Amino acid sequence: MVKVALYITFLIITIWALESIDITGLFKKNRYYESRVLYIIVSMALTYLVVNFIYDFIINARII
């Protein structure tokens, strides 16, 4: 249950943080949807990495 809460929390934080990056400039003209798909994939991957790091840290530090 803790891990699910971490995923939801950090997904929101990751999306909020990635909004400051304009990745549409990296794509060809009129490729808006492809840039959005990459945005979603990057945010999910970053969320996965951050949550696993924090969860492992919590477990190994025996905070919970």
pLDDT at 64: 57
* pTM reported for the whole predicted model: 0.80
Q: What is the pLDDT, as a whole number, of residue 26?
A: 80
The total domain count for the chain is: 1
Q: In terms of DSSP H, where are the helices of 1-64?
A: 2-18, 32-61
pLDDT of residue 1: 84
| Successive 10-residue mean pLDDT values, the chain, 64 residues | 92 92 80 86 96 92 72
Give the CA diameter of the chain. Answer: 50
The pLDDT value recorded for residue 63 is 64
Those residues whose C-beta lies under 8 Å from the C-beta of residue 13, and which sit 6 or more positions away, are none
Parent domain of 44? 2-61
State residue 25's pLDDT score. Answer: 78
